[in-house]
Structure 1
Amino acid sequence: MNTSLTGTTALVTGASGGIGAATALSLAAQGASIGLVARRKDRLDDIAEQIRAIGGTALVIAADITDQTQAAAAVEQTVQTFGSLDIVVNNAGIMLLGPAESAPVEEWDRMLAINVQGLLYITHAALPHLLAAADGERGTADIINVSSLAGRVPIAGSAVYSLTKTGINAFTEALRQEVAGRHVRVSLIEPGPVATELFTHIRPEILEASQEAFANATLLHAEDIADTITYVVTRPARVVMSEILVRPDGSQW
């Protein structure tokens, strides 16, 4: 790594497992203090202990970021505890697949709330702190939005999930343009299929078909995406990695 994160603070949403947990551990290993945000406190406590075991510092924040008040409070609690906010990783998300014709609309509501509104609420609350941090010694601050290959390549059964990820892509690029001259780097990470619990949220009848589709596929690991995010935020301040698509070897998508 060209740049250590010692003295910085990172807030990671969806930090109770998968990409979020792996990213929190990776950033902590580089010296960042970590605000861990998710709904499952017991899982966050476990990640925090793993961070402390490697000499890192972590703050557990059990919050539902689909509630604007809780999202803003998570940001403020992180800043009050550590004194600044240098990196935000908007990772929280849910993937509920299936044909649009028979889909429970409640699933669409959940995806829009978590994947889109939660990201917007965290970003809105964090921006003033990130802009302030960008004027500090490090000379930059980072927003990392975790999207998906589905935001580029919609497939049957992923209509609304792909809609949420395409929306994240558009928001990320527009925001990048807005703050580009103020030293806040805004980056989009688009993972292909990753072996996480994301698939377990799918209805059983849809899950069976999804498992068959991916039965012989190579899947990425959460650590692969965490490594990518860590690479992005440890570049020199002059380097902006605006968009990274990460596919597994042999992917046809």
Structure 2
Amino acid sequence: MSTDKFDNEIAQLYQQRKQQIVVPKMKLQQEPSRHKYSPLNLLTLFLAGGMASFGIMAIVSHLSTSQIKAIDPAINSQAIKFIELAPNKPTEKTLATSKPLPPLPIVTSPETPRIIPVQTKTNNHVIKPAKLAVALIQLVTVPQLNEPKLIIKPIYKVLPEYPLDARINNQTGEVKLSYQIDTTGKVSHINIISSSVEKGLQRSAKKALAKWQYKPNAQLLGPHEIIFKFTAPKG
């Protein structure tokens, strides 16, 4: 039961009790109109009226109090349940604490490499950008010792790229690869002989060597070896 409904019932009870109370009529002896009331008589009438009003209010108050005390216990239990369903105010313990966000990683843009043209006897080719310092050690396999030394020089070559994770970890070392040159001058059958670097640099070396191009020459057929030396770029 809501508070407004409860107040309305109390007001109705009050009006019913008020209507049931009959105020006794006071009959005063009438005197001839020529006589006036004395101050003492007026004071007595005023006090009697005040006492009567006070008595009526006391009776009404008593009846209202007894009516409030006689309310059905089910009403009180219902009101208590309503109060329990009210949401509690959040406390400091229930407030969620947000953890601080981790700092953002610093991303550095790679420097633009320089393009260096390589001149050969046949055509000029442009080397693709290299992102690290690579030293090439060409191992030439000669079929016989009495023949002049065969110079193996590609007409087009690409240097390996330096992966970002290898640059962050400052990886350095060498990769020794074996490969073959076919009749068209292309490189094939690339294998790793030995390596002192991680797999990322190994894949970079094999990918670069696969793009090399040699001048077709029957004397170049057969297995060859090459070493890529990786050093960390300065600055």
TM-score tier after normalising by the smaller chain length: under 0.3
Which structure is higher in helix share? 1
Relative to the length of structure 1, the TM-score reads 0.22
Please identify the structure whose Cα radius of gyration is greater.
2
Relative to the length of structure 2, the TM-score reads 0.23
